[in-house]
Structure formats: C-alpha cells, structure tokens
C-alpha cells in the first residue's frame, strides 16, 4: 500500500515512517497540505495520508472533500497534547496515531486503510476447488465476479488471482464501493478535469487510470448506484473512460475483478443491479464457501494466525492443543475467517503457559446454537428471529462490544469490521461507559 506523509520526517514521525516501511508500505513525503493535495491529484494509488499535528488538518480534509478525493487522513502527534488530537478528529481526521509510535497500532491502521491481509491458505477440498478454478482462469483477461459472505476472504482471492496473472508486474488497485460516498465514487473511478465541478482545482487521475496495465478490484460492487453502473459498463465495454469534465475519452488497459456478499443473480433479476453489467462482470464466477462449510481450513488458519500475531507482538507462538481446535470446529463462524483471525489474535495475547486453551477463545462453554431458547414448537430460533423481542439499541450495543472484544480492544480494527468510523465507535463507547457499561480497554499503546 502507499502512504503519503505530510510533515517533517524528523523525530518520532520519521520512526513511524520506518515502521510503516517495515510493514510493507511504500512511502512518500510532502512538506505541507498544498503539496499533499497536489500529489493526490496525480496519484490515485495513495491509500492513506499521515498528517503531522500542527499542519492545518481541517484545511486538508476540506480540500479533499472539495476535490472529491476519498483518501483517509490520520493525524499524528505526541500524546502530551490531547486537546490537539481531539481537535484533529473534530476537523475530520479519521483517527489519531500517538507518538512515539506503537508498531501494532500502525499495522492495524495500515491494514484498515488498505484492505490488505494475509496469504491465501487452504486445506479444505471445497476451498481448494475454488482456488484451482481461480488459478485456471487467472492468466486470462476475463472479468471475474467473486461472491461469498463477509469475511470469507474475497479480496485475498482477488489478490491471488492478480499475482497469478500476466498482469502481476502491474498495479493492483482496490476500491471499496461501499466505503466511498456516492458523490465521490464517480470521480474516484474515472477522475476529473480542472473546473469539472466547484472545487476541482486541477486534473485528478482516477482508479481506472491508476490501474492501467494491471488489475482493478471493485469491492462490494453491489453497493454501487445504478446510474454509475451504466458508466462502468461503458468503460468495460469500450476500454476507455471519460473523466468528469473531459472533452475526449481516455483509453485504459485494465482487468476487472469484482466482489459482493450478495446473490448477484437475484440483485440483477430484481432490478437492483444492471443485468447487462452483471453479465459483463460474471464472465467467470467464483463463490467462496463460508468457513462453517470448510472445516478442513479451520485448524490450519488458526495455526497461521497464532504464528502471525505472536510474531507481530514479539511473543513466542503458543501451541494449539487438539481439544482447543475441536472447540473451534464446533463454533458457527458467522464472521467467517475474519472472526477466526480476531479470535486467535486475542487468544495469543491471553495465552498462558505456552498454549491456547478453550478459555482463551472467549467462547461460551457450548456452541451458540445450543443455548438459544426454543420456540413454541421446540425449534431453536436462528438468524434474525433470535433477536426478536430485543430493543434495537441493545442489539447494537451487544454487537459493538462483542466485536470490540473479538479484536482484543483494537478500536481501529473493530470499526473496520463494523463498517463505521473510528470516531463514531469512540462516541458509542463513551456513551456506554457513561451508562456504567463495562467497555473492553484498548490494547497497549492504543488510544481509547
């Protein structure tokens, strides 16, 4: 991923840059906000801006909004100045990175901004069959639609396809269609010319042009507005795009991958998604089975995350006894691989005497399905029916606290999973604490 730093690389911010580089980030630096805006107009590959306290962060965020540039801004500064940190968040910074930097917090912020995660690991026959099919068509330029429940690893598979393709040496650009406001998405995709709209002070290169020669991943494409789908269809058909305010089409050489957690055939037949675009994207369809249908992957993935998070936290990797793996196999995994990853991260931090026991998993003694109250006919309710009779705010509170607990108090990671901003999450947690609710504390080195 690409990170742009606004400010001096001396002192602790320079140390944060070194940690980000060690975590695989590509770095660039500008001295001020105007330099940042100028760079972002030219390069749509930047995933994150780290802005030093003392810079006019509000001016930067407003400038990004005027020019329809959707890049998250994280403020960086000393914890000794909490008022400045609060003001930076009020001015629009998505998060605050305290200095001196904590490596694990930087890793979480980088992962949340980029969407990048770990290697594609599979042992279960169902998942192996999906991977074999993906590799079979990876070297073509055919568009691929990857479907599956949230947390199953759709983007990981997309990156695997790119690495196995003839475009592997080109860029891999991912755009989360659900995370970018509708009014910004068109400019993010296609770019714009100077004067295209109020605030367009210069030409802006979009994701299509940034991905030229490589792969463009349209994540959660089912969230895209139908009107914008028509322009996307034309871009795929004609292999050219029109910048907003442009006078001539711009040729692009891009391979399209798309993902969705919905039934896209049903979305198309119901009119919520253009049928012609669906067929253009679904030249080859790949469906990733949920983790509960891939029992052969649970143990190997759990072991992988134990090793990963032990190394990330400077710990010796604890063992996973057979009885602990057996408990994992009985779990429902509604959050799929993402839930397993968070669970093992927490277990690594809590493990004692060199091994992870069932108590460290944070699960109830018996699977959740077994403890649901039975209905009048004796059947245990499932899904949404299990929530009937509860207040909406109580359900929301339980979901937020359980997600936070599953991330070992990592606010940034929890907010990403929940699909809300870190600021919104902090406001909710502050309200809960004021009501006397026990809120899981942040991980070491993290701000609440």
Cis status of the peptide bond prior to 100, with omega within 30 of 0: yes
CA–CA separation, 306 vs 156, rounded Å?
A: 19
Average pLDDT over residues 153-165: 94
pLDDT attached to residue 258: 98
pLDDT at 387 over 70: no
pLDDT attached to residue 441: 66
pLDDT attached to residue 83: 82
CA–CA separation, 233 vs 34, rounded Å?
A: 35
pLDDT attached to residue 409: 73
Compute how many other C-beta atoms are within 10 angstroms of the C-beta atom of residue 39.
16
pLDDT at 372 over 50: no
Query: What's the alpha-carbon Rg for the chain, to the nearest Å?
Result: 23
Q: Which residue has the higher pLDDT, 22 or 284?
A: 284
The per-residue pLDDT of the chain, averaged, comes to: 86
Beta bridge partners of 219: 176
What are the structural domains, with CATH classification, of the chain? 2-114 (3.40.50.2300), 125-287 (3.40.50.300), 292-374 (1.10.8.60), 389-448 (1.10.10.60)
Q: Which residue has the higher pLDDT, 32 or 388?
A: 32
pLDDT attached to residue 364: 60
Average pLDDT over residues 421-439: 77
Per residue in 59-112, pLDDT (tens digit) is: 999 999 999 998 989 999 887 777 888 888 889 888 888 888 777 777 777 766
Lowest mean per-residue pLDDT among 211-220, 250-259, 439-448: 439-448
Q: CA–CA distance from 30 to each of 18, 36, 314 (Å)?
A: 16, 6, 32
Q: CA–CA distance from 289 to each of 341, 345, 360 (Å)?
A: 17, 23, 27
pLDDT at 246 over 60: yes
What band does 374 get if pLDDT is binned at 50, 70 and 90? very low
Which tokens go with 49? 């801006």
Which tokens go with 14? 């320079």
What band does 365 get if pLDDT is binned at 50, 70 and 90? low
pLDDT at 113 over 80: no
The values of phi and psi at residue 371, to 5°, are -110, 5
Average pLDDT over residues 405-417: 74
Strand ranges for 131-205 from DSSP E: 144-147, 172-176
Beta bridge partners of 28: 4
Averaging pLDDT over each range in 81-95, 264-278, 373-387, which range is the top one? 264-278
Q: Coil, helix or strand for 149? A: coil
pLDDT at 405 over 60: yes
CA–CA separation, 39 vs 34, rounded Å?
A: 9
* DSSP string computed for 328-386: HHHS--TTHHHHHHHHHHHHHHH-BTTB--GGGGT--SS-HHHHSPP-TTSPPP-GGGG
Q: Which residue has the higher pLDDT, 39 or 371?
A: 39
Per residue in 172-216, pLDDT (tens digit) is: 999 999 888 888 899 999 999 999 998 888 999 999 999 999 999
pLDDT at 416 over 90: no
Which one, of 15, 55, 16, 50, lies nearest residue 34 by Cα? 55
3-state secondary structure 9-52: CCHHHHHHHHHHHHCCCEEEEECCHHHHHHHHHHCCCEEEEEEE
Rounded to the nearest angstrom, the gap between the alpha carbon of residue 357 and the centroid of all alpha carbons in its chain is 29
What band does 380 get if pLDDT is binned at 50, 70 and 90? very low
CA–CA separation, 398 vs 432, rounded Å?
A: 11
pLDDT at 382 over 60: no
Nearest-5° Cα angle at 437, 342 to 373? 70
Q: Coil, helix or strand for 3? A: strand
pLDDT attached to residue 388: 64
Q: Which pTM does this prediction carry?
A: 0.70
């Amino acid at each position: 991923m690409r990170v742009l730093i606004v400010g001096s690389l001396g002192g602790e911010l320079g140390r944060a840059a070194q940690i980000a580089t060690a975590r695989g980030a590509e770095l660039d630096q500008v001295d001020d906000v105007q330099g940042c805006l100028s760079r972002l107009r030219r390069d749509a590959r930047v995933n994150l801006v780290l802005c030093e306290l003392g810079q006019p962060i509000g001016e930067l965020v407003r400038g990004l909004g005027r020019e329809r540039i959707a890049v998250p801004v994280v403020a960086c500064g000393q914890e000794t100045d909490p008022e400045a940190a609060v003001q930076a968040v009020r001015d629009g910074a998505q998060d605050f990175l305290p200095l001196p930097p904590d490596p694990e917090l930087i890793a979480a912020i980088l992962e949340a901004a980029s969407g990048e995660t770990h290697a594609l690991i599979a042992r279960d026959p169902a998942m192996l069959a999906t991977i074999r099919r993906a590799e079979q068509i990876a070297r073509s330029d055919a568009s691929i639609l990857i479907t599956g429940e949230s947390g199953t690893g759709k983007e990981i598979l997309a990156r695997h396809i790119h690495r196995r393709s003839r475009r592997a040496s080109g860029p891999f650009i991912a755009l989360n269609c659900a995370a970018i406001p509708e009014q910004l998405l068109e400019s993010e995709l296609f770019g714009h010319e100077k004067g295209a709209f109020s605030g367009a002070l210069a030409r802006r290169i979009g994701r299509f042009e940034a991905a030229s020669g490589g792969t463009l991943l349209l994540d959660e494409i089912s969230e895209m507005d139908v009107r914008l789908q028509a322009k996307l269809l034309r871009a795929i058909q004609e292999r050219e795009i029109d910048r907003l305010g442009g006078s001539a089409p711009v040729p692009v050489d891009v391979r399209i991958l798309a993902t969705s957690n919905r039934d896209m055939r049903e979305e198309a037949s119901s009119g919520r998604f253009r049928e012609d675009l669906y067929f253009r994207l679904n030249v080859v369809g790949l469906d990733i089975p949920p983790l509960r249908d891939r029992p052969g992957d649970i143990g190997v993935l759990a072991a992988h995350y134990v090793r990963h998070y032990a190394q990330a936290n400077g710990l010796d990797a604890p063992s996973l006894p057979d009885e602990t793996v057996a408990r994992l196999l009985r779990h429902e995994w509604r959050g799929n691989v993402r839930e397993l990853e968070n669970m093992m991260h927490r277990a690594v931090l809590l493990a004692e005497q060199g091994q992870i026991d069932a108590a460290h998993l944070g699960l109830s003694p018996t699977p959740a399905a077994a403890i649901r109250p039975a209905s009048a006919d004796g059947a245990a309710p499932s899904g949404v029916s299990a929530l009937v009779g509860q207040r909406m705010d109580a359900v929301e509170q339980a979901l937020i606290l359980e997600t936070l607990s599953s991330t070992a108090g990592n606010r940034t990671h929890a907010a990403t999973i929940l699909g809300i901003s870190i600021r919104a999450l902090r406001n909710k947690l502050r309200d809960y604490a004021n009501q006397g609710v026990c809120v899981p504390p942040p991980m070491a080195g993290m701000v609440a």
